[in-house]
């Protein structure tokens, strides 16, 4: 039995995919009689099965060597593409995490989407996401990594566009698809170029190859940049960060998954590619600069948001920026640890936010307030999630962030370390501000009559609260608790204290005057409107593509086709004109015959006449 | 065996065309559908009988017809033509299935469609240059009538005439190329196997090839010879467009590979860089002009120009993988373009408009067209090259194959596939997403038989995308042999990934 479980780990992604496929049957085009809810129930079952399978397998493979299995996908014309799967402890653990979180998110959706009619589409897409991500962590091939990422891009488009009647949703879906697709295509360029250079797509072999590879610096740089581009899009890093903000227009249960696992999966991919990226110092520099700039700016943007979901989406971008920094300094295990601790805390935060939004009509934090007594699950949930996300000892992210700080100090990068402290403080400030505005203060018209949410929403929130509180114990149990130096531990804890404390002093008490007007309006707007990125896109790339296509179409219609039509018109006009030759007058015909004969005669006699002409 | 693929539709055309009395359109549709099913079954039987690994023409049939002219009735099938014959059979069935049940002059209509099928099949199977030309010109007349009589009200006459003139010129140029090729090389017959180009000087080869490239380039079409395409595709009825875009355009690429690359490989190697450039220009041009369209059918028509460009880029890259990708792209483009035009036809029929500014919210589950919209999303994404569907498999092979020969051009092709995503997102966002206008949304329901073609094509697109071996196994031996037959191509450029042996599962 044990053997069967390990040998058939590749089945885990198929459970969810099958569940997703099954859910489609309850779309309005097919089964209407039962209503759409069975779609959700079947999906929860299949996801539960996936979770059980991977969770049971995890202890079984604990101290065993990695198992690999390979399926041939395409073998043609010298190209051999295999789907390589690798079952290591990390992979299977991540798979269990993904299916566990999806399970809770799906349960949450039963409550949150209570009255929705899009269950079939929604759950089939959640199934697609879970299956895709499980396959991605299990697979050991760059090519299939790209394939899964690209399919998930399509999934994002459809999932964000679930409520497609709303204009903001439509633009959000469009931007999510196109931005991620830009990243994916550059990644595809990298993947296509990688094969002739490295000769393999297998990550394990690639890491071996990278150890001894001697690559032309230009090629290495281009390759490295291409491989970084995909994760930049996936992880919503500047300049491809706008989509995550707009994607928050989609349903919240999908945001739970997106914030907590779909976006970090990009970092997973980056970890896999890091040995190849590390061949180019330029690409590594780009990696950490992008990560650091994103982390700094996005934590600042988060403070300026009034939409509770957008606060969380910018926190997501910021944390992924930190993961980028960790990866670029070669701290791959640390990056994965940070992803894990971040992920569980973010699930809890998003779920708590969902519990707030669900019965309050609005998600504008300035219109909320006084919810602490009314949300006995969500209030403490948000608090625990916040403490778990910001470096507060002894919860999860403290260990990962402090270890990152230690690594930065060790690499002699005190400036980046200082930036890390600032980012951590800003994140603490932004989350505590949200917490204060939502749960404390006086009741607003929006929160006065907000009843507690349904149990399918509060139960997962409670489970996650427990999990976040137990994260340090889990790390000890798995023996991955990093050892910390005093400096970074104290510095980070202090920065959290400053950030959280400042926001607590300002926002927990409604009587305190907010210092918001001490910041000049242009700076506030700059962050509140997300660095004006939407306008930037509109005035650059969108403008250029639109103009070029417009001009090209004009050329097509009026020059290329115009030429053809002109030839046609000339023929017709020529025919119409020559028709007047047919006058019916014999003299005219005789004249034209004579002219013709003379011309013909001259032509025939030309060889004789030619010498005579001077 | 192969003759049946020409005879069944030809006899069927006669049967339908001379049907006595005043038959109603629905009856003739059933009869034609039965004939199309017979063609499809016979094609399936052909697939079962063909030896996948054999090289060269199989199931050959030979009848000396006019030996004095070198014209013979010589048929054969190989990995280049077999997938296209299969595509023709499928799309013929779908075109007939998607024809209106109550159209005007049904006898002529179905006879013309069947005659066109006979011509296309004949052209794919012909092993004699003159025979090819006969079939190549034969399908012109039915298509001209199909556009001119059953096309849209506005500009069908203009579109049909433009199509006729362009393709007639294409036929003349190809004929000139064939005559030059055969007469200058001193061959006694137009049979493919009889032509010996060793007597041709390099320049003569080049001139012959250029004639063929321009001739077939009109049919494909390549930019700037393409302006017949948007008009012809847009003005035709959906069934005609499925055939026009799905298989007729493939005659151009097929001819280019069979007669250009197959007969004149040296000259092909000379002009290959230029061809790749023309291909990538078509790719970019098609994608960019599609973005500017307001009519969804015209948008899909321009997208077709772009996707045909990939075939040319891959054929110019001249290695086994790219050539395989090139043929696979013909099939994939045929399937995807057919479903796109089919679904656009359904939308036009039910909603009454193709204008992006008027369409909205069709995904709405009760009063919209949810299943059609769902299929349109999949089809659009398949065209944009999302993995899991056949479009990606073919395009990927094109990219990977061309990369070693023309890195920059293949990266531009990848860029263009991003532009493809741009216009399909525009199309889907305006058509399927958005708020349905409840004042006007009283659309007739889409019947099951109207869903069927879309479902069949979607199934195939997904299946071949997940299991590409089912597509490439028919093609690969032939394309490999075609590349191997080229003496001057430097074989070392072809990538040969050296994959280290995988470690065996190490579980005890």
pLDDT in tens, A254-276: 999 999 999 999 999 999 999 99
Q: What is the pLDDT of residue B501?
A: 38
Whether B49 maps to a domain, the answer reads no
A65: contact with B, CB 8 A cutoff = yes
What is the residue whose two structure tokens read 């949930």?
A381
In chain A, residues with a C-beta closer than 8 Å to the C-beta of B343 are: none
Whether B468 maps to a domain, the answer reads yes
Residue A86 in 3-state DSSP? strand
Pairing relationship of beta strands A79-87 and A67-76 according to DSSP bridges: antiparallel
ipTM rounded to 2 decimals: 0.91
Q: Which domain holds residue A493?
A: 141-528
Same domain, A183 and A270: yes
The answer to whether the CB atoms of A84 and B502 lie below 8 A apart is: yes
Contacts across the A-B interface (CB distance below 8 Å): 184
Residue B152 in 3-state DSSP? coil
The answer to whether the CB atoms of B505 and A84 lie below 8 A apart is: no
Q: Taking residues A365-382, report their average pLDDT.
A: 91
Closest-CA residue of chain B to A560: B224
Which phi and psi angles does B364 have, rounded to 5°? Answer: -50, 130
CA–CA distance, A205 with B319 (Å, rounded to integer)? 26
A6: contact with B, CB 8 A cutoff = yes
Same domain, A176 and A244: yes
A470: contact with B, CB 8 A cutoff = no
Closest-CA residue of chain A to B469: A74
Among candidate residues B336, B325, B113, B399, the one with its CA nearest the CA of residue B237:
B113
Q: List the alpha helices (DSSP H) in B22-155.
A: 25-49, 82-97, 106-125, 129-138, 140-150
The answer to whether the CB atoms of B421 and A178 lie below 8 A apart is: yes
pLDDT band at A489 (very low <50, low <70, confident <90, very high): very high
**DSSP at B505:** P
Q: How far is A608 from chain B (nearest CA, A)?
A: 33
Among candidate residues A183, A213, A211, the one with its CA nearest the CA of residue A197:
A213
Cβ(A164)–Cβ(B433) under 8 Å? yes
Residue B60 in 3-state DSSP? strand
Same domain, A318 and A409: yes
Whether A533 maps to a domain, the answer reads no
Same domain, A372 and A353: yes
Same domain, A449 and A395: yes
Whether B36 maps to a domain, the answer reads no
The answer to whether the CB atoms of A200 and B415 lie below 8 A apart is: no
How many domains does one find in chain B?
1
CA–CA distance, A418 with A409 (Å, rounded to integer)? 10
Whether A447 maps to a domain, the answer reads yes
A595: contact with B, CB 8 A cutoff = no
Q: What is the pLDDT of residue B488?
A: 61
Residue in B293, B434, B476 closest to A77 by CB: B476
Q: Which domain holds residue B401?
A: 271-485
Q: What is the pLDDT of residue A65?
A: 84
Whether B229 maps to a domain, the answer reads no
Whether A104 maps to a domain, the answer reads yes
Q: How far is B239 from chain A (nearest CA, A)?
A: 24
Same domain, A70 and A157: no
The answer to whether the CB atoms of B433 and A27 lie below 8 A apart is: no
Whether B340 maps to a domain, the answer reads yes
Cβ(A354)–Cβ(A112) under 8 Å? yes
Compute the mean pLDDT over every residue in chain A, rounded to the nearest whole number.
92
Return the HEC string of A477-513: HCCCCCCCCHHHHHHHHHHHHHHHHHHHHHHCCCCCC
Cβ(A177)–Cβ(A157) under 8 Å? yes
In chain B, residues with a C-beta closer than 8 Å to the C-beta of A118 are: 365
Same domain, A134 and A244: no
A153: contact with B, CB 8 A cutoff = yes
Residue in B377, B414, B468 closest to A74 by CB: B468
Q: What is the pLDDT of residue B287?
A: 94
Cβ(B91)–Cβ(B116) under 8 Å? no
Same domain, A366 and A470: yes
Residue at which a domain ends, from A116, A140, A164: A140
Q: What kind and span of H or E run contains B189? A: none
A175: contact with B, CB 8 A cutoff = no
Same domain, A486 and A361: yes
Q: pTM for this structure?
A: 0.92
Whether A465 maps to a domain, the answer reads yes
Q: What is the pLDDT of residue A333?
A: 94
More confident residue, B196 or A16: A16
Which residues, other chains included, contact A566 with Cβ-Cβ below 8 Å and sequence gap of 6+? none
Q: How far is A452 from chain B (nearest CA, A)?
A: 31
Q: How far is B421 from chain A (nearest CA, A)?
A: 7
HSE-up (13 A, CA, CB side) for residue A524: 8
Same domain, A491 and A545: no
CA–CA distance, A293 with A285 (Å, rounded to integer)? 12
Whether A379 maps to a domain, the answer reads yes
Q: How far is A37 from chain B (nearest CA, A)?
A: 15
pLDDT per residue rounded down to tens, chain B (508 residues): 899 999 999 999 999 999 888 888 889 999 999 999 999 999 999 999 999 888 888 889 999 888 888 899 999 999 999 999 999 999 999 999 999 888 889 999 999 999 999 999 999 999 999 999 999 999 899 999 999 999 988 889 999 999 999 999 999 999 999 999 998 888 888 888 888 888 888 899 999 999 999 999 999 999 889 999 999 999 999 999 999 999 999 999 999 999 999 999 989 999 999 999 999 999 999 999 999 999 999 999 999 999 999 999 999 999 999 999 999 999 999 999 999 999 999 999 999 899 999 998 898 888 889 899 999 999 999 999 999 999 999 999 999 999 989 999 999 999 999 999 999 999 999 999 998 888 888 899 888 889 999 999 999 999 999 999 999 999 999 999 999 888 765 444 444 444 443 344 444 4
CA–CA distance, A169 with A493 (Å, rounded to integer)? 39
In chain A, residues with a C-beta closer than 8 Å to the C-beta of B410 are: 192
| Residue A54 C-alpha from the chain's centroid | 24
Cβ(A102)–Cβ(A16) under 8 Å? yes
Q: What is the pLDDT of residue B440?
A: 83
Whether A337 maps to a domain, the answer reads yes
Q: What is the pLDDT of residue B489?
A: 53
Whether B359 maps to a domain, the answer reads yes
Q: What kind and span of H or E run contains B72? A: strand B71-77
Residue in B401, B433, B479 closest to A164 by CB: B433
Same domain, A437 and A549: no
Question: Which of A7-21, A49-63, B431-445 is predicted least confidently?
Answer: B431-445
Q: What is the pLDDT of residue A309?
A: 94
Which residues, other chains included, contact A177 with Cβ-Cβ below 8 Å and sequence gap of 6+? A153, A154, A156, A157, B421, B425
Whether B170 maps to a domain, the answer reads no
How many domains does one find in chain A?
3
CA–CA distance, B131 with B139 (Å, rounded to integer)? 13
The answer to whether the CB atoms of B374 and A27 lie below 8 A apart is: yes
CA–CA distance, B33 with B26 (Å, rounded to integer)? 10
Whether B372 maps to a domain, the answer reads yes
Same domain, A513 and A549: no
Residue in B422, B433, B502 closest to A178 by CB: B422
The answer to whether the CB atoms of B434 and A165 lie below 8 A apart is: yes
């Amino acid at each position: 039995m044990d053997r069967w479980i390990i040998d058939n780990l590749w089945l885990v992604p198929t459970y969810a995919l099958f569940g997703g496929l099954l859910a489609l049957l309850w779309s309005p085009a097919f089964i209407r009689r039962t209503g759409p809810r069975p779609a959700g129930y079947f999906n929860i079952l299949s996801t539960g099965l996936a979770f059980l399978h991977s969770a049971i397998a995890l202890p079984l493979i604990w101290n065993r060597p990695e198992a690999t299995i390979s399926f041939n996908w395409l073998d043609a014309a010298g190209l051999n593409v295999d789907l390589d799967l690798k079952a290591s402890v990390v992979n299977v653990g991540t798979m269990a995490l993904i299916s566990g979180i999806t399970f809770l998110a799906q349960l949450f959706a039963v409550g949150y989407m209570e009255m929705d009619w899009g269950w079939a589409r929604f759950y089939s897409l959640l199934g697609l996401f879970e299956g895709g991500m499980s396959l991605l962590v299990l697979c050991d091939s760059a090519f299939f990594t790209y394939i899964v990422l690209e399919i998930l891009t399509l999934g994002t488009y459809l999932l964000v566009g679930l409520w497609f009647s709303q204009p903001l949703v439509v633009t959000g879906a469009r931007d999510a698809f196109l931005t991620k697709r830009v990243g994916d295509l550059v990644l595809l360029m990298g993947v296509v170029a990688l094969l002739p250079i490295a000769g393999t797509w297998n990550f394990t072999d690639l890491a071996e190859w990278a150890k001894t590879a001697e690559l032309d610096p230009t090629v290495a740089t281009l390759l490295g940049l291409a491989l970084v581009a995909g994760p930049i899009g996936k992880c919503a890093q500047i300049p491809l960060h706008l989509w995550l903000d707009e994607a928050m227009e989609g349903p919240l249960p999908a945001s739970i998954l997106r914030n907590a696992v779909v976006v970090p999966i990009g970092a997973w991919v980056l970890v896999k590619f890091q040995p190849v990226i590390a061949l180019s110092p330029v690409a590594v520099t780009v990696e950490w600069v992008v990560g650091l700039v994103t982390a700094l700016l996005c934590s600042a943007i988060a403070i300026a948001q009034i939409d509770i979901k957008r606060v969380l989406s910018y926190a997501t971008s910021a944390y992924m920026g930190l993961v980028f920094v960790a990866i670029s300094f070669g701290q791959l295990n640390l990056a994965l640890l940070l992803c894990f601790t971040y992920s569980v805390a973010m699930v809890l935060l998003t779920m708590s936010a969902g519990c707030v939004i669900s019965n309050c009509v609005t998600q504008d934090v300035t219109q909320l307030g006084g919810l602490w007594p009314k949300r006995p699950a969500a209030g403490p949930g948000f608090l625990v999630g916040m403490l778990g996300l910001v470096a507060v000892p002894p919860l999860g992210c403290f260990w990962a962030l402090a270890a990152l700080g230690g690594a930065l100090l060790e690499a002699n990068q005190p400036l980046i370390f200082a930036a890390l402290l600032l980012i951590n403080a800003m994140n603490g400030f932004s989350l505590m501000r949200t917490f204060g505005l939502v749960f404390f203060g006086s009741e607003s018209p929006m929160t006065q009559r907000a009843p507690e949410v349904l149990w399918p929403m509060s139960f997962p929130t409670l489970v996650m609260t427990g999990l976040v509180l137990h994260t340090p114990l889990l790390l000890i149990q798995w023996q991955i608790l990093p050892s910390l130096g005093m400096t970074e531990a104290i510095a980070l804890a202090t920065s959290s204290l400053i950030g959280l404390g400042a926001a607590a002093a300002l926002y927990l008490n409604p009587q305190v005057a907010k210092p918001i007007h001490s910041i000049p309006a242009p700076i506030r707007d700059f962050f509140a409107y997300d660095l004006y990125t939407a306008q930037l896109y509109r005035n650059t790339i969108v403008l250029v593509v639109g103009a070029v296509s417009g001009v090209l179409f004009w050329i097509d219609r009026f020059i290329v086709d115009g030429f053809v039509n002109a030839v046609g018109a000339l023929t017709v006009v020529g025919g119409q004109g020559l028709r007047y030759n047919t006058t019916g007058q014999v003299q005219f015909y005789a004249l034209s015959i004579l002219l013709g004969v003379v011309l013909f005669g001259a032509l025939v006699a030309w060889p004789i006449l030619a010498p005579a002409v001077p | 065996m192969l003759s049946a693929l020409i005879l069944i539709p030809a006899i069927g055309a006669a049967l339908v065309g001379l049907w006595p009395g005043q038959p109603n359109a629905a009856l003739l549709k059933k009869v034609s559908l039965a004939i199309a099913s017979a063609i499809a079954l016979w094609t399936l039987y052909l697939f079962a009988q063909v030896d996948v690994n054999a090289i060269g023409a199989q199931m050959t049939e030979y009848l000396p017809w006019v030996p004095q002219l070198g014209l013979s009735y010589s048929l054969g099938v190989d990995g280049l033509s077999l997938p296209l014959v299969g595509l023709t059979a499928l799309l013929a069935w779908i075109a007939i299935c998607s024809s209106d049940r109550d159209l005007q002059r049904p006898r002529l209509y179905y006879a013309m469609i069947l005659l066109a099928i006979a011509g296309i099949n004949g052209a794919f199977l012909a092993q004699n240059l003159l025979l090819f030309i006969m079939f190549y010109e034969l399908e012109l007349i039915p298509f001209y009538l199909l556009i001119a009589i059953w096309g849209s009200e506005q500009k069908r006459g203009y579109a049909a005439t433009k199509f006729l003139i362009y393709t007639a010129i294409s036929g003349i140029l190809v004929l000139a190329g064939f005559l030059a090729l055969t007469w200058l090389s001193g061959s006694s017959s137009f049979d493919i196997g009889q032509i010996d180009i060793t007597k041709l000087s390099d320049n003569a080869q080049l001139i012959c090839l250029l004639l063929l490239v321009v001739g077939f380039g009109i049919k494909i079409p390549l930019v700037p010879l393409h302006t017949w395409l948007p008009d012809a595709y847009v003005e035709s009825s959906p069934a005609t467009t499925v055939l026009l875009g799905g298989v007729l355009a493939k005659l151009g690429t097929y001819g280019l590979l069979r007669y250009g690359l197959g007969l004149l490989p040296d000259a092909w190697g000379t002009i290959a860089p230029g061809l790749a450039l023309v291909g990538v220009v078509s790719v970019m041009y098609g994608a960019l002009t599609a973005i500017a369209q307001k009519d969804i059918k015209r948008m899909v028509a321009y997208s077709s120009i772009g996707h045909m460009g990939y075939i040319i880029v891959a054929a110019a890259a001249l290695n086994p993988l790219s050539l395989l990708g090139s043929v696979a792209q013909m099939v994939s483009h045929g399937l995807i373009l057919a479903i796109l035009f089919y679904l656009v036809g359904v939308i036009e029929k039910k909603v009454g408009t193709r204008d992006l500014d008027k369409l909205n919210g069709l995904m709405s589950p009760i009063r919209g067209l949810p299943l059609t919209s769902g299929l349109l999303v999949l089809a659009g994404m398949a065209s944009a090259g999302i993995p899991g569907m056949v479009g990606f498999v073919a395009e990927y092979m094109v990219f990977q194959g061309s990369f070693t020969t023309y890195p920059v051009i293949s990266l531009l092709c990848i860029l263009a596939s991003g532009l493809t995503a741009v216009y399909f997102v525009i199309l889907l966002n305006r058509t399927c997403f958005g708020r349905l206008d409840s004042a006007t949304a009283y659309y007739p329901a889409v019947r099951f038989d109207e869903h069927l073609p879309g479902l069949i094509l979607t199934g195939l697109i997904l299946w071949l995308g997940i299991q590409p071996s089912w597509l490439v196994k028919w093609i690969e031996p032939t394309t490999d042999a075609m590349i191997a037959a080229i003496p001057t191509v430097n074989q070392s450029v072809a990538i040969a990934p050296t994959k280290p042996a995988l470690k065996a599962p190490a579980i005890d």
